[in-house]
């Protein structure tokens, strides 16, 4: 018996390793694993249909805490322009290091064996995921190109419209204002305003 720091309960106990068999530790462990599993499930949904988004530093820099490795890992993968959601988490959970730490964590904490396999991604899953990401990136780039073309067209049309509008204002307003100045000047301005 001696001082033992429990990273799940985030406290030092003096009951030694017998702490891990206690109700409070096992209860806390269940909560931690269920929360962790929620994130892994979300990631698993991305395997068949990866989501690519335009990178936004306020949204895509999230980290997640891996209890097994006691390590903070990037949740997404990004090149600064695009972000592939949950790709960081998926890649991490397919590494040998994560696999080893998970076995150790389960053994040390006497966690439910039935849950363990849910915290890994196999090499086959990773290969399929990579192939799907490649497709998703291709579609994303095409969509971005179309969007940029549409935006450019919109800006050109706006500019054309603005030029035509200015031209019509000059043609309509200037002769009136000069011709009837000063008495009708105010009416001339109002006329411009209502065009």
Taking CB under 5 A as the criterion, the residue among 6, 52, 94, 111 binding Zn ion is 6
- 9 touches Zn ion (CB under 5 A): yes
Residue number, 69 or 177, with CB nearest to Zn ion = 69
- Pick the piece of the chain touching Zn ion (CB under 5 A) from 23-31, 118-126, 153-161, 170-178: 23-31
Minimum CB separation from Zn ion for residue 103, in Å? 11
- Pick the piece of the chain touching Zn ion (CB under 5 A) from 41-49, 65-73, 75-83, 116-124: 65-73
Minimum CB separation from Zn ion for residue 105, in Å? 9
Structural contact between residues 102 and 93, judged by C-beta atoms closer than 8 angstroms: no
Taking CB under 5 A as the criterion, the residue among 33, 43, 68, 83 binding Zn ion is 68
Residue number, 3 or 195, with CB nearest to Zn ion = 3
- 8 touches Zn ion (CB under 5 A): yes
Minimum CB separation from Zn ion for residue 158, in Å? 51
Helix%, strand%, coil% for the chain, nearest 5: 65, 10, 25
Minimum CB separation from Zn ion for residue 157, in Å? 52
Please enumerate in sequence order all residues whose Cβ is within 8 A of that of 22, keeping only pairs 6 or more positions apart, or say none: 15
Minimum CB separation from Zn ion for residue 63, in Å? 12
- Beta-carbon-side half-sphere exposure of residue 169 (alpha carbons within 13 Å): 13
Distance CA 29, CA 105 (A): 11
- 46 touches Zn ion (CB under 5 A): no
Please enumerate in sequence order all residues whose Cβ is within 8 A of that of 110, keeping only pairs 6 or more positions apart, or say none: 20, 21, 26
State the distance between the two ends of the chain, measured CA to CA, in whole angstroms: 88
Tally Cβ neighbours within 10 Å of residue 149: 10
Please enumerate in sequence order all residues whose Cβ is within 8 A of that of 191, keeping only pairs 6 or more positions apart, or say none: 172, 173, 176
- 52 touches Zn ion (CB under 5 A): no
Structural contact between residues 77 and 105, judged by C-beta atoms closer than 8 angstroms: no
- 98 touches Zn ion (CB under 5 A): yes
Chain positions contacting Zn ion, by CB under 5 A: 6, 8-9, 25, 66, 68-69, 98
């Amino acid at each position: 018996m001696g001082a033992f720091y429990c990273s799940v309960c985030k406290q030092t106990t003096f009951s030694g390793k017998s702490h891990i068999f206690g109700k409070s530790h096992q209860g806390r462990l269940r909560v931690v694993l269920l929360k962790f599993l929620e994130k892994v499930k979300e990631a698993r949904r991305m395997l068949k249909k990866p989501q690519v988004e335009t990178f936004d530093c306020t949204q895509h820099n999230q980290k997640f805490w891996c209890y097994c490795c006691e390590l903070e890992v990037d949740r997404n993968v990004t090149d600064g322009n695009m972000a592939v959601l949950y790709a960081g988490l998926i890649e991490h959970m397919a590494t040998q290091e994560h696999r080893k730490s998970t076995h150790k964590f389960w053994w040390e904490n006497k966690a439910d064996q039935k849950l363990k396999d849910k915290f890994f991604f196999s090499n086959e899953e990773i290969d399929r995921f990579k192939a799907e990401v490649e497709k998703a990136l291709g579609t994303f780039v095409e969509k971005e190109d179309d969007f940029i073309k549409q935006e450019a067209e919109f800006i050109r049309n706006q500019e054309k419209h603005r030029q035509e509008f200015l031209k019509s204002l000059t043609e309509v307003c200037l002769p009136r204002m000069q011709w009837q100045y000063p008495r009708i000047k105010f009416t001339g301005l109002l006329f411009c305003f209502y065009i």
